């Protein structure tokens, strides 16, 4: 978020940068505003990837400037910047400018193929900004242009999942995989299988996603990371570690894999190594989740000053993301509950999410957790039921269910569920797990 600019001479007040060099003619009203390519660590990703991105960026910017009617160049540039946003974590910088770039394509009489592509990209960015209803509307418009492309159904899967429309998400996933079984469709099948409690099937589908990708590419290692997280969530620690190591071997300094390794080290009691790895991940990209974990660990150590300083930085990062259009309700809720110990403020943020997507299981899980910590067992139970309506086998949910039953007077049933949760994952660690262990 505070990276030095690699390519740009003049920063516009809007935060969007216009490419200029000594030989570039003065900007005219027809020029397109283009986000600058921010400097990032050359150590992220395979050798040569950063140089290739920089070269492609310069070439595409030159094409856009030379011919404002070259809509394909604008689309290629937008997609390059979308990928760079994923790799660098600089969402707040890139996404507003990308959306502006895509809007210029949509409004300048594109052919059907160009309009379709622009809408798919726009919907994908809206998903990344957690603008789920808008993303679904954009994707639905794109389907009217071309119902035979797999990519748009991927956006519709994601949007319906986030909105809590799981039956529709399954329908879209079936269409997607029937058109093109690849890394994108297999990974979405995996997500849906886990949501419906089919853990083995979810792992199998994510294995297919990994095998369908090219080793070292960000998308492939993201799928491998998610395979590792699946193993970790259901207690298969050694398998999780192997996947994280493979991701780092294929894509050196992959920040998300480093952070995942840090979390695994913390779970197994090697906190010094966990801290070292998380510091490394935080230095590579400004990912809020990394800083939240780091602050939580400092709080657990009794380092109130360190945790407080990190929490202040996290809130500033969230505010920066909000300014770029990113909806961050659940992230704020987690910070106020886990770091600031303010369940009332956490509830306010979680309820803003609930009002827009009341059927989403993650939103309901967040509300169940907040209500449990607030002592409102009745409402905690109601939201937990909504969170478990797809028959999820997530050990954290089962653990919370056990605690709620115990607090409701069904102590024996509660203990049985808690034992089930810890049998599924001996390393289970959540905001109520210590209480569950004591029970």
Q: How far is the C-alpha of 118 from the C-alpha of 115, rounded, in Å?
A: 5
More confident residue, 413 or 438: 413
Domain tally for the chain?
Answer: 2
Q: Is residue 310 part of a domain?
A: no
pLDDT band, residue 291 (cuts 50/70/90): very high
d(CA 100, CA 84): 17
pLDDT in tens, 300-325: 999 999 999 999 999 999 999 998 88
Is the distance from CB of 120 to CB of 151 less than 8 angstroms? yes
Does 328 reside within a domain? no
Q: Domain for residue 1, yes or no? A: yes
Q: What rounded mean pLDDT belongs to the chain? A: 90
Residue 403 domain-assigned (yes or no): no
Region 3-14: mean pLDDT is 25
Q: Are 210 and 223 in contact (CB under 8 A)?
A: yes
Q: What's the whole-number mean pLDDT along residues 406-429?
A: 92
Write 339-347 long-range contacts (CB < 8 A, 24+). Answer: 339/292, 339/295, 339/296, 339/299, 339/307, 339/311, 339/314, 340/311, 343/370, 343/373, 343/374, 344/374, 346/370, 347/371, 347/374
In a domain, 96, yes or no: yes
**Measured torsion, CA atoms of residues 108, 109, 112, 118, in degrees rounded to the nearest 10:** 10
* Res. 42 pLDDT band, cuts 50 70 90: low
**Within-domain flag for 36:** yes
Q: Which of 234, 256, 284 is the last residue of a domain?
A: 284
Is position 424 within any domain? no
- Domain limits at 48? 1-110
Tell me which residue of 246, 240, 248, 289 sits closest to 265, measured CA to CA: 240
Q: Of 284, 318, 344, which residue sits at a domain end? A: 284
Residue 47: pLDDT band with limits 50, 70, 90: confident
pLDDT tens sequence across 147-198: 999 999 999 999 999 999 999 999 999 999 999 999 999 999 999 999 999 9
What pLDDT, on the 0 to 100 scale, is given for residue 20? 31
The answer on 1 and 89 residing in a single domain is: yes
Residue at a domain's end among 284, 315, 347: 284
What per-residue confidence (pLDDT) applies to 48?
83
Condensed to tens digits (0 to 9), the pLDDT of residues 95-143 reads 999 999 999 999 999 999 999 999 999 999 999 999 999 999 999 999 9
pLDDT in tens, 49-82: 888 999 999 999 999 999 989 999 999 999 999 9
Nearest CA to 237 among 265, 271, 259?
265
Residue 403 has pLDDT above 50, yes or no: yes
CATH of the domain at 242: 1.25.40.10
**Other CB atoms within 10 A of residue 66 CB:** 11
Examine the domain organization and report whether 1 and 95 are in the same domain. yes
The model's pLDDT over 233-289, given as tens digits with 9 standing for 90+, comes to 999 999 999 999 999 999 999 999 999 999 999 999 999 999 999 999 999 999 999
**Residue 119 domain-assigned (yes or no):** no
CA–CA distance, 271 with 265 (Å, rounded to integer): 7
């Amino acid at each position: 978020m505070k990276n030095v600019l690699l390519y740009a001479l003049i920063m516009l007040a809007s935060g969007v940068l216009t490419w200029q060099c000594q030989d570039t003619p003065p900007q005219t009203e027809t020029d397109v505003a283009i986000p600058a390519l921010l400097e990032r660590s050359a150590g992220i990703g395979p050798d040569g990837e950063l140089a290739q991105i920089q070269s492609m960026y310069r070439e595409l910017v030159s094409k856009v400037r030379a011919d404002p009617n070259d809509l394909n160049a604008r689309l290629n540039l937008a997609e390059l910047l979308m990928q760079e946003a994923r790799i660098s974590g600089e969402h707040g910088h890139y996404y507003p400018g990308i959306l502006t770039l895509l809007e210029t394509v949509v409004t300048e009489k594109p052919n059907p193929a160009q309009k379709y592509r622009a809408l798919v990209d726009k919907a994908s960015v809206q998903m990344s900004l957690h603008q789920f209803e808008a993303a679904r509307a954009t994707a639905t418009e794109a389907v009217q242009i071309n119902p035979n492309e797999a990519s748009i159904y991927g956006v519709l899967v994601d949007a319906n999942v986030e909105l809590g429309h799981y039956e529709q998400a399954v329908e879209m996933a079936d269409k997607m995989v029937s058109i093109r079984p690849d890394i994108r469709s297999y990974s979405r099948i995996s997500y849906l299988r886990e949501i419906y409690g089919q853990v083995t099937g979810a792992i199998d589908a994510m294995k297919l996603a990994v095998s369908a990708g090219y080793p070292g590419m960000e998308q492939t290692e993201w799928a491998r990371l998610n395979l590792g997280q699946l193993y970790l969530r259901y207690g298969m620690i050694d398998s999780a570690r192997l996947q994280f190591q493979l991701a780092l071997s294929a894509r050196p300094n992959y920040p998300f894999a480093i952070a995942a390794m840090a979390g695994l080290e913390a779970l197994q009691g090697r906190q010094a190594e966990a801290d070292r790895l998380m510091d490394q991940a935080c230095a590579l990209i400004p990912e809020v989740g990394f800083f939240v974990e780091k602050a939580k660990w400092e709080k657990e150590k009794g380092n109130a000053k360190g945790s407080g300083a990190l929490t202040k930085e996290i809130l500033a990062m969230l505010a920066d993301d909000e300014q770029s259009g990113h909806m961050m309700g659940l992230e704020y809720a987690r910070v106020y509950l886990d770091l600031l110990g303010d369940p009332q403020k956490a509830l306010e943020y979680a309820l803003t999410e609930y009002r827009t997507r009341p059927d989403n299981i993650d939103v309901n899980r967040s509300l169940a957790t907040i209500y449990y910590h607030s002592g409102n067992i009745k409402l905690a139970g109601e939201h937990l039921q909504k969170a478990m309506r797809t028959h999820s086998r997530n050990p954290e949910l089962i653990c919370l269910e056990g605690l709620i039953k115990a607090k409701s007077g069904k102590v024996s049933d509660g203990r049985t569920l808690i034992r089930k949760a810890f049998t599924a994952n001996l390393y289970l660690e959540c905001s109520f797990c210590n209480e569950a262990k004591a029970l």
